[in-house]
Amino acid sequence: MADPTKDKTWEYDLNNLVIADGATVDGAFLSTRQRLFGIKEILINNGSTTFTAPWTVVSSSDSSTSGASDLWVDEFDLVWADDDTSNARSWIVLRQTGISTTFEVCIVCQEDSTSNDGKQIEVWVAQAGFTGGSTTARPTATDERQLRDSTADGYWGSGQVNTAYTSQTHVWMSSDGDCTRIVICIGDVVTGYWAFETPKNPTTGWTDPYFACIEGEANVTTSQVTYSRFLDNATMRGRYSGANTTMYLSSEGMVNDGIGEATGNGTQQQNQLDNSYIASQCGLSSTTSTFVGRHGEVFDMWWGLSFVGTGRYYPETGTKAFVQIGDFVFPWDGSTLIRTR
Amino acid sequence: MAAPTKEKTWEYDLNNTTFADGTFVGNAFESTSRRLFLIKEILINNGSTTFTVPWTVTSSSDSSTAGASDLWVDAGDLIWRDDDTSNVFSWIVLRQTGISATFELLITCEEDNAGNDGKQIGVWVAQAGFTGGTTTARPTASDERQLRDSTSSGYWGSGPPGVAYTSQTHVWMSNDGEITRILICIDGEFTGYWAFEKPKNVVTPWTNPYFATVQGDSDVVTSQLTYSKYYDSANMASRFSGIDTSLYMSGEGFASQAAGEAVVDPNQLTDDFAASAIGLHSLTSNFRGRQGEVADLWWGYTDTANRVGLYFPADGSKTFIQIGHLIFPWDGSTILKVV
């Protein structure tokens, strides 16, 4: 497809460097704490960019105190606990009214072993508002949807345990707050991908629609932005009518592939007639019982050609209005993407 | 996706019955000859419908004479030959200016065995104009693209040799002549699908674009309107810059399947009946990429594929119909698949 027109006005906080630091404090490497703290800071406009519709802190815990304020003052306020203990831990609830009035994400510093260096967290999202919470128990919400489970898949993009990494964090936010995307790069690989979004053209009946994900693995070699991750697996999560749902990011396809995968079958290249690189818009399709079907689209995100890889701009020079990261094409601000230091 | 809006004004000649007749005339069953003759008649406005932009005959052979006129006066003028002989045979060239000024279709009555009862033909399309042709040799064109090869894949929807069948033939044509679709039904199955179309939203370098197909098998149990046929296989044919190309009919998909295969029933929130719009995607060297789209044709859900006469929307207007895995514009009538 030809270069698309963006639906949203995008704001960026890109190329945020965290230097590897293996000092272990309160169950986590220092650089891991800095990385997670840095994300929070960017989201609430304490980064280098002033977002038009930033997230706000609803409540938090620094493991010593909990309450309706931002107690994550610096990275040392992030204290991890083993998730099968009742030890004190840090958590934070952030709100983004661009998605819905009380769309909130709750991040909890807990992992399945205290020796995991902060490489795992638990994450929930909800729209009914998180309530409660203490230094030893996270807040809960009646409609909470778990994105990361520290007992099973708590990795969030900071790599594996026992190693401290240098990383680059990139944050996109639409000026209306509808869409927030976060990419974490370690060693040239997109090790973490977070998204909290309002879908485009949602089906009638899907009230207060949203989809979200936090993807990471216990390594720094697996890209989190791939056809495999989102086209072949229902990795996006949401809620409908009181039930948890999952969604695929569908693509125009043929045979067994998205067309960005199939093009060339090993000799991939861009469209040979018009040289276009962007393969397909991203749809949202679900096979969750009672939510089966195509329920919307993703604003301003496209499937790319898988052979291209991260760091290709469209157009290549000049405005650089789009960038391919992994198998996705994102809006871009014209700067140079930094993946490694 | 929501119920689509048609881009074209459609004209239809539907439910044309050809009764089985095993009389052997001109190396073909009588009903087979009549079926192919009927298609020609419908395309040139000798059917029950007057199309706004019908096809025209530019030349033909009835095996006795060849020339620049329509010599297929009745089904008896269709004479088949074994394609590895130099015997006389019938052929016809039809032109559709809605696709391009000299877009032409050549049908030859040839089969790989003279005992195949007319169940095979040779088919080519071209835009440079077919020239020549005698009672023993077909016309040729400098840019011809073969759609059916009587030596290997000549089946065109009339079923296998040895049996005469009753069929229903349905023809769609857009009133600008850009799109012609033909469906042949035998024994309740969609045994033949022919399409000659101008794609929409093509990439700029694809000049005089078209895509075409004539599909059939040597049986009456294989649907010609399936994901397998067009989504998984590049069965649409075309030309670009002097080379033969083939195209897939792409659609939205996930989990290694088309959406209408991965989710077999309509959307549970909206009851939408169409799974996806259709793109045209090629892996042909020098033509690789998504090069356009198909107008007014949609992929459907596989679980609804074999319900006889699944019309949309549910208000009774029957403005769309699912046939096999594809959703077509429809005129509100009731489709006949069997007599």
pLDDT-derived band at B278, boundaries 50, 70, 90: very high
DSSP result, A300-332: EEEE--TTT-TTEEESSSTT--EEEETTEEEE-
Contact (CB, 8 A) for A190 and A170: no
Contact (CB, 8 A) for B195 and B181: yes
Chain B stretch 231-290, residues whose beta carbon is closer than 8 A to a beta carbon of chain A: 231-232, 240, 248-259, 262-263, 265-270, 272, 275-276, 279, 281, 283, 286-290
B252 to chain A: closest CA residue: A252
B227 interfaces chain A, CB cutoff of 8 Å: no
Structural domain total, chain A = 1
From A129's Cα to the closest Cα of chain B, the distance in A is: 26
Size of interface A-B (CB pairs under 8 A): 132
Q: Which of A222-231, A267-276, A318-327, B32-41 has the lowest mean pLDDT?
A: A267-276
Percent of chain B clearing pLDDT 70 (strictly above)? 96
Q: Which of A262-276, B196-210, B276-290 has the lowest mean pLDDT?
A: A262-276
pLDDT at residue A2, rounded to an integer: 67
pLDDT at residue A266, rounded to an integer: 43
B281 interaction partners in chain A (CB closer than 8 Å): 252, 254, 259, 262-263
B293 interfaces chain A, CB cutoff of 8 Å: no
Quick check: A251 and B253 CB within 8 A? Answer: yes
Segment A40-92, tens digit of pLDDT: 999 999 988 899 999 999 999 999 999 999 999 999 999 999 888 899 999 99
From B178's Cα to the closest Cα of chain A, the distance in A is: 22
pLDDT at residue A42, rounded to an integer: 98
A291 interaction partners in chain B (CB closer than 8 Å): 268-269
Quick check: A273 and B265 CB within 8 A? Answer: no
pLDDT-derived band at A156, boundaries 50, 70, 90: very high
Residue A189 lies in a domain: yes
Nearest to A294 among B231, B259, B283 (CB): B259
Q: In terms of DSSP H, where are the helices of chain A?
A: 30-43, 227-230, 259-262
Q: Say whether pLDDT at A274 is over 90.
A: no
Separation of alpha carbons B323 and B310, rounded Å: 8
pLDDT-derived band at A264, boundaries 50, 70, 90: low
Nearest to B269 among A234, A255, A295 (CB): A295
What are the E-state strand segments in B3-101?
10-18, 24-25, 28-29, 56-62, 66-67, 81-82, 90-95
3-state SS assignment for residue A39: helix
Which among B120, B168, B219, B222 is positioned nearest to B335, based on CA atoms?
Answer: B168
Contact (CB, 8 A) for B231 and B299: yes
pTM, 2 dp:
0.93
Average pLDDT across chain A, whole number = 93
Mean pLDDT of B241-252: 96
Regarding predicted confidence, which is higher, B48 or A145? A145
Q: Say whether pLDDT at B217 is over 60.
A: yes
From A139's Cα to the closest Cα of chain B, the distance in A is: 32
Q: Is the torsion defined by CA of A49, A55, A58, A61 positive or negative?
A: negative
pLDDT-derived band at A94, boundaries 50, 70, 90: very high
Separation of alpha carbons B321 and B274, rounded Å: 10
Average pLDDT across chain B, whole number = 93
**What interface predicted TM-score (ipTM) does this complex get?**
0.90
Residue A260 lies in a domain: yes
pLDDT at residue B146, rounded to an integer: 98
DSSP A163: -
Contact (CB, 8 A) for B28 and B118: yes
Contact (CB, 8 A) for B229 and B215: yes
B256 interaction partners in chain A (CB closer than 8 Å): 232, 256-257
Separation of alpha carbons A311 and B144, rounded Å: 43
Q: Say whether pLDDT at B308 is over 70.
A: no
Q: Say whether pLDDT at B262 is over 80.
A: yes
Domain coordinates in residue numbering, chain B: 10-237
Quick check: A273 and B272 CB within 8 A? Answer: no
pLDDT-derived band at B2, boundaries 50, 70, 90: low
Q: Calculate the CA dihedral of residues B320, B322, B327, B333 and round it to 10 degrees.
A: -30
Residue A229 lies in a domain: yes
Residue A1 lies in a domain: no
Segment B9-20, tens digit of pLDDT: 999 999 999 999
B201 interfaces chain A, CB cutoff of 8 Å: no
Separation of alpha carbons B238 and A122, rounded Å: 54
From A313's Cα to the closest Cα of chain B, the distance in A is: 19
Domain hosting A238: range is 10-331
Q: Mutation test of the interface with chain A: which of B208, B238, B269, B301, choosing the one with the most A Cβ atoms within 10 A?
A: B269
